[in-house]
Amino acid sequence: MKQMKFFLVALMAVVMGMSVTSCMKGDDNTIYTGVAVAECVNSYPPTFTLGSQKLVINDATLLDLVLGKTYMFYYQFDTAEQSPDAPSITVTLYGGSTPTNIDAEYREGPEVASENNKANTALYSLGTSFFPSSALLSNNKLFVPFGYWVKIEEDATKQKEELNKHSFVLTYDFSNVVSGAKELVLTLNHIVNDAEGEEITRNKWTEGYKVYDLTQAIVAFEEKSHAKPVTIVIKVKVNPTIDGSLTGATDDKDDVKYTVE
């Protein structure tokens, strides 16, 4: 329940990032607060990589971390004791949060585009106020921030059921890719699985974050282009009006430079 409570709070008021950090107000306050999107590289002590830096969480109760998975968490440390630029920093979790895995589920791709994984709902936005664009966390892991419409429930169980109706499937169609092509084009499809005949008004928008492993998509692209991509393009349908109908939705996209590590 504690983790669910944090997730819902973060869902409605996220100030997060791959390396978003800030000092608390006050010239004499040395507490450094940040939010990380980082890969777990050790379960005990809980250790995450954030670019070239390691964050070690001072919490022995984190027992369900999975190596290689990407997590989001809020953290703090005292700059009077540790430098923000140190190669390794020991941190504490902030606000009762726990690391939340944001890797895309297996059913969310990337996979070949079809009628079965086509969007039935538009996103509110591609990017968020703190993360206006997508980014590569590593050579093959793509971080995608977005906004989408949800229904807010007072009951935590019902809220979880509502959130579970939303899938964000990343698809590709390389049938027209020619030798020498440089752009790997992906489509992020927002799919809402409501029961037949169910009518739900979704009038609150929230922020979502997904990390996709592009390994198989890049291999499939190289088979057609005979070269690695130079740019990764993420296309979406957006509609900032209530419910996010595809009717009246417009096209948006992110361009991400692909570099070989």
Query: Residue 32 sits in which domain range?
Result: 2-101
9 and 51 share one domain:
yes
What distances in angstroms separate CA 54 from CA 65, 68, 108, 155, one per listed residue?
16, 14, 29, 37
Boundary of a domain, candidates 101, 121, 153 = 101
Structure confidence by residue, pLDDT tens digits, 35-86 = 899 999 999 999 999 888 999 999 888 889 999 999 999 999 999 999 999 9
Q: Residue 8 pLDDT > 60, yes or no?
A: no
Note whether 248 and 143 are same-domain residues: yes
Tell me, yes or no, whether 73 and 192 share the same domain. Answer: no
Last residue of some domain: 84, 101, 118?
Answer: 101
171, 205: one domain: yes
Q: CA–CA distance from 117 to each of 73, 112, 126, 153 (Å)? A: 30, 9, 19, 27
What is the pLDDT averaged over residues 104-118? 96
pTM of the full structure: 0.85
* CATH classification at residue 119: 2.60.40.3220
| Residues 97 and 176 occupy one common structural domain | no
Neighbour-count burial of 73, counting CB atoms closer than 10 A to its CB (0-12 exposed, 13-18 middle, 19+ buried):
buried
Q: What was the pLDDT predicted at 235? A: 98
Q: Does 75 share its domain with 130? A: no
Give the pLDDT band (50/70/90) at residue 11. very low
Q: Are 92 and 182 in a shared domain?
A: no
Overall domain count for the chain:
2
Same domain, residue pair 137 and 210: yes
pLDDT confidence of 97, banded at 50, 70, 90?
A: confident
Last residue of a domain, one of 101, 126, 148: 101
Same domain as 127, residue 186: yes
> Does residue 132 register a pLDDT over 60?
yes
Assess whether pLDDT exceeds 50 at residue 29: yes
Q: What percent of the chain has pLDDT over 70?
A: 89
Confidence of residue 26 (pLDDT cuts 50, 70, 90): low
